Structures are given as C-alpha cells and as structure tokens.
Amino acid sequence: MNVLKWILIGVGAVALVLGVFLGVETLRDYKPPKVVKLEKEGTAQTLSPRELTVFTWNIGYAGLGKEMDFFEDGGTISIPPRNMFESYLDGILKTVKKYSSVADVFYFQEVDRDSDRSYHVDEYESLKKTLEGYESAFAYNYVVDFVPVPLTHPMGKVSGGMALFSKYDFKDPTRVALPGEYPWPEKLFFLDRCMIVTRIPAPDGKEWVLINTHNSAFDSGDQRKAQLDFIKNFILKEYEKGNYVIIGGDWNLMLGGDFKYTERPEEFYKPLPKDWTPRGWRWAFDEGIPSNRSVKAPYRKGVTFVTVIDGFLVSPNVKVLSVKGINLGFAYSDHNPVLAKFGVK
C-alpha cells in the first residue's frame, strides 16, 4: 500500500505541476489584435519605382542549416550547437549583404529576437545592421514563455517573427493576422500566423502593395485552406483599387518543381490547390531550384525530400521580369532564397 500511495502522490504532483504550467501559459498566451500597426525603422529613398526586385527567405532562425534535423519534422533536435548557430547566422548575413546590391525589398520569415534556440541573439538587429539604407518593419508571430518539447532538450523560450526591408520609403506597415489555430493546449506553443503589409507609391498614383506571408505548416490542411481564402479576399480587394500587388514568402504549400530524392515526404507537405489562384494572377518561383527541404534528418543531396514552397504571386497588372531560386544547398537554413524582378504593365 505504501508503494501505491507514493505512486499516486507522484502522479498527483506531476498533474498539479502540469496544470499550473498550462494555466500560466494560457493566461500569458500571445493574442495580438487582428490588425496591428507596426513601427517603421530606418530611412530610405522616397521614389515611385516602375520596377521592384524582391528577395524572400525563411532563415529558419539560423538554426536549421544542412547539418541539422528538427523535432517537428521527425528529427530530435530544436537547438543547434552554439558554434553551428553562429556559422549559420554569419552565412545568412553574408548572403543578404551580397544581394543587397540587387534587391530593393527583402521578405524574411523565422527571424528570432530573444529565443533560447538562437542564444538570445536579436537577428532582426543583425539584419538591420547588414541592410543599412533600408527601412524596415517587424511583426511577431511566435511568442511563448517555454516550449516544453522535445522533452529531452526543450526549445524553451521563443520570441520571433517576420521582417520586411525596403530601400524605398514605405507607409502603413501593418501586421494582419491569418485565420486558423490549433486546439488548446497545442495552440499555446505554435505560431500565430500573419502577414506584413506595406505600401510604396507607384508611378501612376496607385500603390505597390507588398505582402510578406508565412502560412501554417503542420495542420491537416484546414488552417491553410482558411488562410488561402483570407489571402484571396485580401489581395483581390487591393487589386480592385488599381494597386500592384506582390505577395510572397513561405506558403508552406508545394508550388511546383520535380526533383530527385529517395526520402519519403512527411504527410504535412501538401500541394497548392489547383483551382485557388485568382484568374489573371501569376506565380513567380523557380521550378528548377528547390526552396525547402525536409528536416527530419541532416541534408543529403539526392536523398532528402526537397520541393518549392517559397515564391511570389502577383496581380494581373504586374509583369514578372525574372525569377530565380538561389541554390545555397541549404547550407544555412532549411530554405533557399528566391529573387524576382517585377514591373508595372
């Protein structure tokens, strides 16, 4: 009886601690309004460009380079060794610096500000120092006091989000929430998906509407469908005003590409619905260069599952002048960047 008594006491103590933890996390759950005005930082040129070159990259918090796996993809790790993290971040910043001579606008996803998994380095500040002469805005989409998984090496505190940089002066930077969330208590530890929306004057008095998006990844598909419905409604309203719309980023949906690999993809990889794209709108991504890899194991060319989930969608009044994937071999992130040039029709 004494053994059973102590087992019951132990189970009760664990349940109590877990209950208190979930209660505190519920009270402190990050719940931003659906629309939030963002702070604009830096200074840039005041122009009304006819063309824009845009670079998008999910930098994977500088923690998901080619040597890494990730627990949510089937791996075991969430935090890279310190020296590996520093190497990844250095490679990211050098790549961004290189393309700053080409790109007018940068869309970034998974940018940490104060997280255990990235050693509390403010990656947004690092990007700002790298992109001098650009204006920027930042939107949080992942704020959790403590992510308790994986149990053997928890991710811990996470504070990060998305950033947009422009060498042309923009106005009204806004965080726009995307619909969909996981059931409680899962939702306490997942991202709060959103878009960053900014505006640059176009030559005809209309606006370039620049949208950086990072859609859901690990849902059954319902969240992504709701987000696509929301996005379609949002961008069509902007196009109806005569504006030039460039929405891009990490769609977490397979856009295209046919690559050689032997690894079986995880079930959460899902294709973009064939009937979703608005009539007359055009996609810009590189079918020949994968933009994303599976992270259930370190990257192995020809073995690791790869696909394209990063790219741009533009309104019918925008020309796609060029688009290319930048093949970094997933050296610094589980995503490769995409660079595209657009012009007004």
Asked if the model's pLDDT at residue 344 lies above 60, the reply is yes
Whether domain 34-344 has CATH 3.40.50.920: no
Supply 26's token pair: 């519920």
User: What is the average pLDDT across 224-244?
Assistant: 97
Check residue 77 and give its pLDDT: 82
Check residue 314 and give its pLDDT: 98
Check residue 218 and give its pLDDT: 85
Question: In this structure, are residues 109 and 250 in contact, taking their beta carbons and an 8 Å threshold?
Answer: yes
Check residue 91 and give its pLDDT: 98
Check residue 345 and give its pLDDT: 95
Asked if the model's pLDDT at residue 233 lies above 90, the reply is yes
Asked if the model's pLDDT at residue 342 lies above 90, the reply is yes
Q: What type of residue is 14? A: V
DSSP string for residues in 153-205: S--EEEEEEEEEEESB--EEEEEEEPS--PPTTGGGGS---EEEEEEEE-TTS
Q: What is the pTM of this model?
A: 0.93
Domain boundary assignment for the chain = 1-30, 34-344
Check residue 118 and give its pLDDT: 98
92-96, 153-157, 225-229, 321-325: which has the minimum mean pLDDT? Answer: 153-157
Number of residues assigned to the chain: 345
Asked if the model's pLDDT at residue 14 lies above 80, the reply is no
Check residue 253 and give its pLDDT: 97
- Euclidean distance between CA atoms 281 and 284, whole angstroms: 10
- Euclidean distance between CA atoms 184 and 334, whole angstroms: 28
Tens digits of residue pLDDT in 79-105: 999 999 999 999 999 999 999 999 999
Cβ contacts of 248 within 8 Å, gap of 6 or more: 54, 56, 107, 211, 212, 213, 284, 310, 311, 312, 313, 338, 340
Tens digits of residue pLDDT in 201-228: 999 999 999 999 999 998 877 999 999 9
Check residue 7 and give its pLDDT: 54
- Euclidean distance between CA atoms 334 and 10, whole angstroms: 41
Check residue 150 and give its pLDDT: 83
**Nearest of 218, 266, 301 to residue 336 by alpha carbon:** 301
- Euclidean distance between CA atoms 179 and 201, whole angstroms: 29
CA angle (296, 139, 32) in 5-degree steps: 100
Q: What type of residue is 292? A: N
CA angle (315, 224, 180) in 5-degree steps: 115
Tens digits of residue pLDDT in 176-193: 999 987 666 666 657 899
Asked if the model's pLDDT at residue 141 lies above 70, the reply is yes
- Residue 22: band (very low, low, confident or very high) from pLDDT cuts 50, 70, 90: low
Check residue 28 and give its pLDDT: 65
pLDDT over 70 percentage in the chain: 89
Question: In this structure, are residues 194 and 143 in contact, taking their beta carbons and an 8 Å threshold?
Answer: no
- Residue 78: band (very low, low, confident or very high) from pLDDT cuts 50, 70, 90: confident
Check residue 76 and give its pLDDT: 80
Supply 212's token pair: 């950086």
